[in-house]
Amino acid sequence: MSLKEKIVFITGASSGIGAATALAFAAEGTRLLLAARRADKLAQVASLAAGCGAAAIHSIDLDVRDHRAVQSAIDTLPPEWAPIDVLVNNAGLSRGLDKLYAGKIEDWDEMIDTNIKGMLYVARAVVPGMVTRGRGHVVNMGSTAGEITYPNGAVYCATKAAERAINDGLRQDLLGTPVRVTSIDPGMVETDFSLVRFHGDAERAAKVYKGVTPLTPEDVAEAIVWAVSRPLHVNIARVVLTSVDQANSLLFNRKS
């Protein structure tokens, strides 16, 4: 299915998987609606996307944790940007790697508010329009962490298990409409994910990828574009992808 001129709304588009997804959709000639908290980095992604072939770009400074801001952003879109064809619910993060009984509550709140509630807020604002128009595709960003909990990561893993349940529930609730719903569940991807998790500790973040060839953001972006570009009668429910050095969220082949 051609994606040319389709309106693609990507949250968390300022870096990592979100930025790579923006560039991948730009190469398909889509119109990009990009949202993130870091306006300066978002502007850089928008500039790169324009050079990759995006038909048009509209950026929004948005924190998905604020449900009023999310709804307002969608309600006040210029008319030519309102009929969103594809939502990539990508905004998310991990904070800390602590035993549950020693975890920081502020880290828990940030993960839950972003990964679960933020995803819900954006879907609640966007999906009704898709149902009314009789077309649309929601892509939610999951993780292998949602399948198997790993030590010291219970809360993050719980947010991704919630994403899996919400994704499947939304697909069930949309049965009878043409709107499609997909969860993209990557394993280890080398982005700023670990740097964010460890609050900027670059040395500790680098150790996460030591001895392993991880996925790249572009690998994940390619899977997203593939799922969205299937024929309209085909719904890809879930894509799980890892590098060959990872079996699941617990098992890695670390080379010396």
Active site residue 209: no
Strands 238-241 and 180-186: parallel
Strand partners, 87: 9, 138
Residue 247 in tokens: 């079996």
Neighbouring C-alpha atoms within 13 Å toward the C-beta of 200 = 0
Strand partners, 138: 87, 181
Mark out the alpha helices in the chain (DSSP H runs).
Answer: 16-26, 39-52, 67-75, 105-111, 119-133, 154-173, 193-197, 202-208, 217-228
- Rounded to the nearest 5 degrees, what angle is found at the Cα of 69, between the Cα atoms of 130 and 186? 60
CB distance 34 to 62 below 8 Å = no
Q: For residues 102 and 107, give the distance between their C-alpha atoms in angstroms, rounded to a whole number.
A: 11
Selecting among 101, 121, 150, 156, the annotated active-site residue is 156
CB distance 21 to 88 below 8 Å = yes
**Nearest-CA neighbor of 82 among 9, 27, 4, 182?**
9
Number of H helices, E strands in the chain: 9, 7
Instruction: State the greatest distance between any 2 C-alpha atoms of the chain, in Å, as a whole number.
Output: 55
Work out whether the CA dihedral 89, 95, 101, 104 comes out positive or negative.
negative
Active centre residues (catalytic): 156
